[in-house]
Structure 1
Amino acid sequence: MTAQHIETLIVGAGQAGLATGYHLQRRGRDCLIVDRQDRIGDNWRRHYDSLRLYTPAKYDGLPGLPFPAEDRWHYPGKDEVADYLERYALHWDLPVRLSTAVNRLTSRPGGGFAASLDGDTITCDNIVVATGTFGRTAHVPDVAAELSPDIRQLHSSDYRRPGQLLPGPALVVGASHSGTDIAYELAGTRATTLAGRDCGQIPLPWDSRRIRLALPVLVFAWRHLLTRRTPLGRKEMTAIRLHGGPMLRVKRADLARVGVRRTTARVSGSVDGRPALEDGSVLDVRNIVWCTGFRQVFDWIEPPVIGDDGWPREYRGEAADVPGLYFCGLSFQYAFSSMVFPGVGRDADYVARRIADRTGIRRPVQQAA
């Protein structure tokens, strides 16, 4: 077993972890970013093929490096995002250690933490958990185990393209962003039903001139109005953390146009191995795509940090009762924008500033090139 000490350990080399590393580095603070993937950006590369960001390139750059695109209104695809993150880490020479999973994190007597890796231990004064907006474990309802084995079941994190599915009808469960995107795509090859709560929609066509006029206003609202400091923002935070965000690119009319059958009834059980909805209907489908989100899994952190709502006890990423523990990349960490590129840089800057203030002695701030 080997051991090393670092001032701040960052778990996760996605956009939140990299942006936090950038801001710490600019403040002259030592840090190490670890990630379980073999390559920076692999979390994005594993998304479904048709995924595009909901914000154009002009809003998608992380601090210090604009997103590369000749057309600033281009909506980047998932592989473009992955390549950009890799380029970002190289551009700023961020200290990233790949193929490294943190299996357990414990508080040390006298302060700081010990992170257990495969055969190694890293001790640190501060730790930033940047493992993603919705945790690390896909959530699939218990009813999935009751369904017939001849139904092909995938979680949205495993879905790539329609060709993965068996011939025949499909049920998509969960009607937030990924659910509406995937249902819309599947409707081109098979009868498709989309089940789940209606999370609302922003009515403007997403690839239109009108959205170019509206998006600056929306981004401003996402960053400055829908925050944890405002009653409207706190109400929205609860809705989004529980049910997901409103429909953006794919709208109700788009789903109807391609023939998606829409129901807000939940999948509540099974009948003869088929999914049954709470309205009493039983669906004879060959495929199910569970777009039911991810579970917050932080049981690897000691002491426990999860509150009664199932989310970490934190404000703006700073743990409420564990000094030196921070989060970055959480849904509504500060605002609606926290879960998209236009907001993650501000959250990372705040976390880095709190770490620098806690650590005390400052080194000269590096200037961005």
Structure 2
Amino acid sequence: MRYETVVIGAGQAGLSAGYHLAERGKPFVILDAADRVGGSWLNRWDSLALFTPANRDSLPGAKFGGGYTFPSKDEMVAYLERYAEQFALPIRLNTKVDGLFREGDGYRVTAGTESFEADNVILATGVHRVPKIPAFAGELSPDIVQLHTADYRNPGQLRPGTVLIVGAGNSGAEIGVEVGRTHKVQLAGRNVGYLPIEMRGWQGKLMFPLVWWVWEHILTEDKKPGRKVQAEALEGHGEFLIRQKEKDLLAVGIERVPRIAGVVDGRPQTEDGVLLDVANVIWCTGFTPDFGWIDLPGLDSSGRIANERGCVTGQPGLYVLGQEFQYMFNSHTVGGVGKDAAYVVRQIAKHNAPHLLTSSEV
């Protein structure tokens, strides 16, 4: 089968690309391994709510609705499914892509026994792919329950006793506050700071439009403040807490402990040499990309895909969407990815039919 463009991933990034391709009348197909549109959202903890309010969680062409509320993961999946149906996007579910190769001037995408030829390929597989867990995790006592955020659903999975949460970013703080209501919690990792407004109340409703504008127009890779924040994010320094505050952690009795440096006698050891007596460990240590299935000369697929505003460096016709701080601070968010998708599709149109572009689109 041949398509002008193959989009890999039917989450918010892939659907945004599909919308803009459809608007231009471009032939394309979206491939996804899941059995539901946006299915990766379901692989998160039960109480997960988006960190951005519903009025900033819309994809191009269709409002999410809900005003200043924080949608649940189930509400987000329902919205993405409605979106795909509303715009009749051509999606192939249960199609796990396992290879990407050069084919003449274009590409060949493989999914088991199926093969798709394309002039352009958009990688929209998202940032939450392979759980990142330190190698010494395997040395913990078998009596300790270990879960990564990819596996954690609710406190019912945990043993009685202390819960060590490794990673003090947004996921660690959110899960920590939830677990802290039923267990003693120790939170390991540096204090990353927090957004200096109360997101859940009137301050957030009043100030978040300004915060969003800064994320979208000031914290971009073509501006000095954006490049500084981008470098810190890519170095693994983490984002500040968006919804939780230190007072929220203290309210449920969370104890901060130093970074975990290793395991001794089956127990986690902090970097200052203290052994922790815990019954559970939740690894809120993030994810690594999963691009090992890409086989293209000159492309380093071992980590973040090098790109310029979504155009993959040195690979004409190959694009990427939804990477953390791809162009803007909020490039990987539901409400931010649409802007990057519009730019990428403009480049596809420019490459394939430059005479159709207006001066405002170049």
> Is TM > 0.5 for Structure 1 vs Structure 2?
yes
Q: 1:282 aligns with which of 271, 275, 280?
A: 275
Structure 2 counterpart SS, 1:326: strand
1:270 aligns with 2:263: yes
Structure 1 counterpart SS, 2:173: helix
**In structure 2, how many angstroms separate the alpha carbons of the residues matched to 1:362 and 1:166?**
64
Q: Sequence identity of aligned pairs in percent? A: 44
1:97 aligns with 2:92: yes
Q: 2:10 is matched with which residue?
A: 13
Shift of 1:28: 1.1
Structure 1 counterpart SS, 2:351: helix
Structure 2 counterpart SS, 1:9: strand
Look up the equivalent residue of 1:38 and give its one-letter code: D
Look up the equivalent residue of 2:94 and give its one-letter code: S
Equivalent residues in 2 for 1:304-343 (5 A)? 305-306=299-300, 310-343=303-336
Aligned structure 1 segments of 4 or more residues deviating by more than 2 angstroms: 304-308, 361-365
1:82 aligns with 2:80: no
Q: 2:44 is matched with which residue?
A: 47
Structure 2 counterpart SS, 1:105: strand
Q: 2:217 is matched with which residue?
A: 224
Shift of 1:41: 2.2
**In structure 1, how many angstroms separate the alpha carbons of the residues matched to 2:214 and 2:326?**
15
**In structure 1, how many angstroms separate the alpha carbons of the residues matched to 2:170 and 2:238?**
8
Q: 1:32 aligns with which of 12, 29, 49?
A: 29
**In structure 2, how many angstroms separate the alpha carbons of the residues matched to 1:138 and 1:339?**
17
Shift of 1:244: 2.5
Look up the equivalent residue of 1:49 and give its one-letter code: D
1:248 aligns with 2:242: yes
Shift of 1:342: 2.5
CA contact (8 A) 2:167 2:283 kept: yes
**In structure 1, how many angstroms separate the alpha carbons of the residues matched to 2:186 and 2:340?**
37
**Total equivalences in the alignment:** 356
Look up the equivalent residue of 1:245 and give its one-letter code: E
Equivalent residues in 2 for 1:181-260 (5 A)? 181-241=174-234, 242-260=236-254
Shift of 1:68: 3.2
Structure 1 counterpart SS, 2:29: strand
CA contact (8 A) 2:291 2:301 kept: no
Q: Unmatched 5+ residue regions in structure 1?
A: none
CA contact (8 A) 1:28 1:363 kept: no
More RCO (CA 8 Å, sep 6+) = 1
**In structure 2, how many angstroms separate the alpha carbons of the residues matched to 1:79 and 1:243?**
30
**In structure 2, how many angstroms separate the alpha carbons of the residues matched to 1:138 and 1:113?**
29
Q: 1:107 aligns with which of 89, 102, 105?
A: 102
Identify which range, 17-26 or 200-209, moves more after superposition: 200-209
Structure 1 counterpart SS, 2:331: helix
